[in-house]
Amino acid sequence: MMEALTLPPLRGAAGTVRLPGSKSISNRMLLLAALAQGTTEIRDLLASDDTQVMLEALRRVGVGITALGGNAWRVEGSGGVFPVKDADLFMGNAGTAIRPLTAALALSGGSYRLSGVPRMHERPIGDLVDGLRQIGADLRYAGNTGFPPLSIHPATVNLSAPIRLRGDVSSQFLTALLMALPLTGQRAVIEMTTELISKPYIEITLNLMARFGVKVEREGWQRFTIAAGQSYCSPGILHVEGDASSASYFLAAGAIGGGPVRVEGIGRDSIQGDIRFADELEKLGATITWGDTWIEAAAPRGKLKAFDLDLNHIPDAAMTLAVAALFADGSCRLRNIASWRVKETDRIAAMATELRKLGATVEEGADFIAVSPAPTFVAGAAIDTYDDHRMAMCFSLAALGGVAVTINDPQCVNKTFPGYFEAFAEITAPVIAIDGPSASGKGTVAERVAAALGYHYLDSGSLYRLTALAALRAGVALGDEAGVAALAAGLPATFEGGRILLAGDDVTDAIRSEEISVGASKVAALPAVRSALLARQRAYRRFPGLVADGRDMGSVVFPDAVAKTFLTASAEIRAERRYKQLIAKGMPANMHALLQDLRERDARDAQRSVAPLQQCVDADRVDTTAMDIEAAVAAVMTVVRRQGL
């Protein structure tokens, strides 16, 4: 049975996303490191299906590869000679793996067979094979002429004449030849016989080859020369930038859903052409801010501007604009995108079919798509994704039209971005923030509201309580800011069906003791502890939504929460509730001491310098002094329902 993910209607997007590594850079670096002299350590490598395909293929031809943990890998360079001379290689649907490997293997004096998934056998490779055959390489089609599967045989190559290569179907053929030719040690010249598409990808190739010590002379986009006697040499340690194509979904979400949405891991000096997506988004009316290691998109609520753009330079990120067109104030046209037809699926046809499901009028041509948005989105559309990761990621944006959208086969995002929907939820899933002082009834109310809505629940206070308990157990003083923050950052806590575990130990009741209540309030005043717990709290934001209770849910952790309430009650009634709770649990309690403690804690929570307890200007105040739980839940639900949830 096919899986499906239904996204709830979304009303905005804001927050920060750490990008996974770039696919284009990851697979190029892996191959160059394998071909080089010396050992390379590659950090922040993309962990996905397509990089797995490359890693596995390189292992099969005898390249030494070691996982160092945390997406760092060590690659023992083979100096251009793969140790294994005969192998069958399965390339899945990874174009960035099969094209460059075909060229490198064809020049490495072995016998190899390369195949992939059925769609891979429909994706062209003929221009590359023609280019390699011109210099004497021996490649044969094992299926249809012009397409994988292929077999490769040892051959002697002769580079005396320039290689004449087409560049109008895929730029990956040129990338493949450029990366492989230094293996010959001879002078090599490539002349393009057509216009070259997707030029920025060639810039990535040349940039990375240079980092491994091989220079290519380029005359326009016509002629490329590699001087004789160059070979790859490991630069030692390399970092992979965040993926600029993956960034496009979040930047678009910021432009459509208000923002600001920040992507971390790429910035103004990125070597990836797809960062230019941000410029195109700016033409649609978004506000883009560039940092060294981040890009941010925001936009006033309302429609994006209609557009008519040549997108040949950003073919992958351009898909995101086709879905952004649904939010434009008129008809939009995406031009010069013929390469979409030979990607993971026929992306022009797939895009047209699925956009129509949302109500748009779509016209498609050989190399363009025109999208006229409907005045309102069709609710409940089920989007097919054609085993194409970008279809799945693009169409998640449609839920920002305020309608539920079902994405069929959502796990196809694993090709380049296994955690995509979790990351998307962190900037878009609706959050209901319930803040207030200790014992105001927040916890019980929040849990019931979450159950009523079918949302997830975050008891943020428990994280501060767990931190205090962990510090006491580890003998770290509660005033030792760095020490406590380090514990908070790596808190071995798990939440299992109402029970809370710390390093496997059930501490559900232990963290509710008065000692820990006081300790939690102390560690919560330490700025380093608060920032150590920030990402952890935000990771609770998942579909279909989250109810979060604490002190700074609406002010700091989820400032874009759709509904914010400030739940409070008189100190006396709160002390009385706590007293009853403790007695019910058979724990010792003293009314006078409880009231005193509560007042001290209120003062500490309200007066600390970071994220003090306070009512946000946009929060509704609910005073529960004279309310029972049912009445308090009903009061919060009224605020929630007013937001249309």
Write down the least CB distance from residue 582 to ligand DC, Å.
13
| Residue 408 near ligand DC by CB under 6 A | no
Residue whose CB is less far from ligand DC, 63 or 557: 557
| Residue 465 near ligand DC by CB under 6 A | yes
Token match 């001087």: residue? 227
Write down the least CB distance from residue 409 to ligand DC, Å.
38
Alpha-carbon distance values, 240 to 51, 211, 289, 511 (Å): 12, 13, 22, 42
Three-state SS at 17: strand
Residue whose CB is less far from ligand DC, 552 or 560: 552
| Residue 616 near ligand DC by CB under 6 A | no
Write down the least CB distance from residue 366 to ligand DC, Å.
56
Determine the Cα–Cα distance for residues 142 and 151; give it in Å rounded to an integer. 6
Closest by CA position to 567, among listed 541, 549, 594, 580 = 549
Query: Tokens for 552?
Result: 């700074």
DSSP state of 442: H
| Residue 640 near ligand DC by CB under 6 A | no
Active-site choice (316, 384, 388, 560): 316
CA torsion sign, 576 to 581 to 584 to 585? negative
Residue whose CB is less far from ligand DC, 282 or 447: 447
**Single residue of 249, 277, 464, 558 touching ligand DC by CB under 6 A:** 464
Residue whose CB is less far from ligand DC, 446 or 633: 446
Closest by CA position to 432, among listed 257, 553, 611 = 553
CB-facing half-sphere around the CA of 131: CA atoms within 13 A? 31
Write down the least CB distance from residue 575 to ligand DC, Å.
13
The footprint of ligand DC on residues 483-522 (CB under 6 A) is 520-521
Question: Angle at Cα 260 formed by Cα 70 and Cα 258, nearest 5°?
Answer: 130
- Strand ranges of the sheet holding 405-408, from the earlier edge strand across to the other edge: 4-7, 405-408, 381-383
Determine the Cα–Cα distance for residues 344 and 94; give it in Å rounded to an integer. 9
Residue whose CB is less far from ligand DC, 306 or 589: 589
Given a contact cutoff of 8 angstroms between Cβ atoms, the answer to whether 100 and 201 are in contact is no
Q: Which stretch binds ligand DC (CB under 6 A): 107-115, 371-379, 457-465, 485-493?
A: 457-465
Size of the site for ligand DC (CB under 6 A): 13
| Residue 438 near ligand DC by CB under 6 A | yes
Determine the Cα–Cα distance for residues 10 and 257; give it in Å rounded to an integer. 9
Per-residue x/- marks for ligand DC, 592-611, CB under 6 A? ---------x---x------
Q: What is the 3-state secondary structure (H, E, C) of 457-524?
A: EEEHHHHHHHHHHHHHHHCCCCCCHHHHHHHHHCCCEEEECCEEEECCEECCCHHHCHHHHHHHHHHC
Closest by CA position to 119, among listed 94, 137, 142, 83 = 94
The footprint of ligand DC on residues 517-546 (CB under 6 A) is 520-521, 524
Write down the least CB distance from residue 503 to ligand DC, Å.
20
| Residue 460 near ligand DC by CB under 6 A | yes
Q: Which stretch binds ligand DC (CB under 6 A): 163-171, 177-185, 391-399, 459-467?
A: 459-467
CB-facing half-sphere around the CA of 528: CA atoms within 13 A? 12
* Residue 388 known to be catalytic: no
How many CB atoms are closer than 10 A to CB 403?
A: 19
| Residue 257 near ligand DC by CB under 6 A | no
Residue whose CB is less far from ligand DC, 321 or 613: 613
Per-residue x/- marks for ligand DC, 125-154, CB under 6 A? ------------------------------
Per-residue x/- marks for ligand DC, 1-20, CB under 6 A? --------------------
Catalytic amino acids? 316
Instruction: Give the residues lining the site for ligand DC (CB under 6 A).
Output: 438, 460-461, 464-465, 520-521, 524, 550-552, 601, 605
